[in-house]
Chains A and B, each alone.
Chain A
Amino acid sequence: GAVVSQHPSRVICKSGTSVKIECRSLDFQATTMFWYRQFPKQSLMLMATSNEGSKATYEQGVEKDKFLINHASLTLSTLTVTSAHPEDSSFYICSAREGGVNQPQHFGDGTRLSIL
């Protein structure tokens, strides 16, 4: 149980392209989804917290107009990196969490984004 699917797994595209990443909870309803970014040999950095039906909460320093998050249903959240540039190249990982007490976050497989 508690499977989170993230797609695509890898994207290589030109500078200026917008890239959309999907995150789905397959066997549970995710009241909250999280988006992280991880640079090589560093820990995960939380970018934003997404609750179904409401606007995402962005961490300090994360541009909300650059990283658009939509959480349209209890099983789907999307992250769109708009007008991506080489410095946006990173490993993007989503996680999802069921509602209730003592529920862990379950992570998707991640998306490796490379901007040329």
Chain B
Amino acid sequence: QKEVEQNSGPLSVPEGAIASLNCTYSDRVSQSFFWYRQYSGKSPELIMSIYSNGDKEDGRFTAQLNKASQYVSLLIRDSQPSDSATYLCAVEAGSGSRLTFGEGTQLTVNP
């Protein structure tokens, strides 16, 4: 089992729809969870961080964390073509420790 698994892509949604990206992790002691966006040929950009159970909203983005189910998700509301990118889920076991990345989910938002 991979340490961090993301739903296989590619994911295609129409403009204005909600895009849902999912991630599960295997290490129960994981404490910090991040979503990064990576455009083709570019480096990852931090979108959201979440550290406690529940929802965290930032503009059109909502991260959801359920530590009991070892599950973290990212919802993108009112998806725009500019949201088309690969989204990386990253998990950190303890403060300051290494990040473990999922393989990424490629999202395409169609105009």
A49 touches B42 (CB 8 A): no
CB of A109 to closest CB in B, whole Å: 5
How many residues in A have their beta carbons less than 8 Å from beta carbons of B?
A: 24
Q: Which residues of B contact A31 (CB under 8 A)?
A: 96
- Given A93-B43, A99-B96, A43 and B103 contact (CB-CB distance below 8 Å): yes
* Interface of chain A residues 54 through 107 with chain B (CB within 8 A): 93, 97, 99-107
B34, B44, B51, B90: the one contacting A93 at CB < 8 Å is B44
Report the bound CA distance from A100 to B45 in whole Å: 20
How many residues in B have their beta carbons less than 8 Å from beta carbons of A?
A: 21
B36, B41, B49, B104: the one contacting A102 at CB < 8 Å is B49
- Given A43-B88, A44-B88, A107 and B45 contact (CB-CB distance below 8 Å): yes
Contact with A along B72-111 (1 / 0, CB 8 A): 0000000000000000101000011011011110000000
Chain A: which residue is nearest B44 at the CB level? Answer: A107
* Interface of chain A residues 13 through 40 with chain B (CB within 8 A): 31-32, 34
- Can you list 7 residue pairs at the A/B interface with Cβ under 8 Å? A93-B44, A101-B95, A105-B34, A105-B46, A105-B90, A107-B44, A109-B43
**A-binding residues in B (CB < 8 A):** 32, 34, 36, 41-46, 49, 51, 88, 90, 95-96, 98-99, 101-104
Closest CB pairs A-B (n = 6): A110-B43, A107-B43, A43-B101, A93-B43, A101-B95, A104-B49
